[in-house]
Structure 1
Amino acid sequence: MSRPINAQYALRGSGNYDVILALFVAILLISNIGATKLIAFGPIITDGGAYLFPLAYVIGDILSEVYGFKAARRAVMIGFGVLVLAVVVFWLVQISPPAADYHHQKAYEAVVGFVPRLALAGICGYFVGQLLNSYVLVRLKERTLEKKLWVRLLGSTGVGELADTLVFCTIAFYGVLTGWNFLNYVVVGYVYKCAVEIIVMPITYQVCKFVKRREPTYAARGSETDTIAA
């Protein structure tokens, strides 16, 4: 079999794309709500989103690797819309007059009332980070084709997570955390997210292979190519 000239991808309307997309959006939404709580493990400061959010980049890598930049960009746009909807709904619930026997308005405002700022941070951070993550991965795949997946995963994660972490931390917690605590939060967040992707990389490899085998339109079976400019 001759070596393919161009990096190729499965069609986004086939196979498992919709399932992966739904999981991607769910992780984004849950993570942004969980991020309303700051967590301290000794001197290490992070937030509740750290439990799940790194997996969004793993799924973003799978979308980019298997379906290409346009499909990953579509997932980012849909996630953006869902997060905006969540912000609007939380805000409407907050400003709606509470029932006479509802005694948790202040508690709701103290927790969910902080969500709009976090959601804005999450929207901006993941929007920039995920697009850069997908862009870098696809560019690297144009050079490496089906080889050196680990280079694509590490390279895209390093760039995407850095942009995501800087944007999110600055919008969400600048002024809330100051000095060393803020720097600690940024560095720990970035290192942690990258470390998670490295740890789960063997799983990402297997999932990519599994999805590729399950996609009848993927490259090895005659799919069309995908370009960033398209």
Structure 2
Amino acid sequence: MSNEFLWVVLMVVNFVGILIFYRYAGKTGLYVWTAIATITANIQVVKTVQLFGFVATLGNIVYGTTFLVTDILSENYGKKEARKAVYIGFGSLISMTVIMQIAILFKPDASDFAQPALKTIFSIMPRIAIASLTAYWLSQLHDIWAYHLWKNKFPQTKFLWMRNNFSTMVSQFIDSLVFCFIAFWKVYPQNIFWSIFWTTYIFKWIVAAADTPFLYFAKKLHDSGKINELVVE
């Protein structure tokens, strides 16, 4: 199977996963997805692949879904609930980075086979984490702000596509710019670096455009009372 086919399959799997989490666990499911997505994206991003003739990093899809999550929360619950997802993602990434840095310090047993792979992946994680945390914080808070700016101007449901895409388009440019410069500047040759930057942004934007029908579906589920909100007693 080609990388391009797998990329599309992965995108659909992520979108469907979000709807399943949301349908059966409500806001809590979206918060859980945010934690999963931020951790998974920062592991996948260390792998580079060829997509449509360009060099790109993995992680663009699953990371891009965090913008869909905050847009669903913004649309159905408001700015305050959307910001909670940002805080959860931020805390999840910090926790994972600290825990794994300690884990790779353990002296492995002679029978161990995982240490080299873990060290390869997670030894670069502090730089990736700093880049991701900075980019995530700035871009997500901008996305929430911009989403509500467009929602206040065009509150009708028929303009849902506009606030989803217009807010995310700028937010993901901020995210890609900040992340790539902190994480990859002088790590790769400049031609590879700029290829990663532009493909990162373009692919994230494609994900944002493709998630629009899923945002409409999530709103329909919410408005029709089909969301099973978890209640802690």
Q: Tell me which interval the TM-score lies in, with the shorter structure as reference length.
A: 0.7 to 0.9
Match of 2:152 in 1: 142
Change (3 A) 1:26 1:105: closer
SS in 1 for 2:224: helix
Which residues of structure 2 form unaligned runs of 5+?
1-24, 228-233
Match of 1:36 in 2: 46
- Structure with the bigger RCO (C-alpha within 8 Å, sep 6+) is 1
Q: Distance in 1 between matches of 2:29 and 2:52?
A: 38
Select which of 183, 186, 194 maps to 2:194.
Answer: 183
Q: Distance in 2 between matches of 1:187 and 1:131?
A: 22
Match of 2:35 in 1: 25
* Structure in which a larger fraction of residues adopt helix: 2
Which residues of structure 1 form unaligned runs of 5+?
1-14, 217-230
Match of 1:7 in 2: none
Deviation at 1:42, TM superposition (A): 6.5
Q: Distance in 2 between matches of 1:38 and 1:125?
A: 19
Deviations 1:87-115 (A, max 9, x none): 00110011122223325433321222112
Change (3 A) 1:97 1:203: same
Match of 1:108 in 2: 118
Q: Distance in 2 between matches of 1:124 and 1:85?
A: 15
Q: Distance in 2 between matches of 1:53 and 1:85?
A: 17
In the alignment, is the contact (CA less than 8 A) between 1:16 and 1:215 conserved in 2? Answer: no
Using the size of structure 1 for normalisation, the TM-score is 0.81
Match of 1:174 in 2: 185
Deviation at 1:43, TM superposition (A): 4.1
Match of 1:118 in 2: 128
Radius of gyration: which is bigger? Answer: 1
Q: Distance in 1 between matches of 2:126 and 2:162?
A: 36
Match of 2:14 in 1: none
CA RMSD of superposed structures (Å)? 1.9
Equivalenced residues, count: 202
Using the size of structure 2 for normalisation, the TM-score is 0.80
The one-letter code sitting in structure 2 at the alignment partner of 1:203 is F
Write the mapping of 1:9-24 to structure 2, written as runs, cut at 5 A.
16-24=26-34
Deviations 1:100-155 (A, max 9, x none): 33254333212221122212222111111111111100111112123411110111
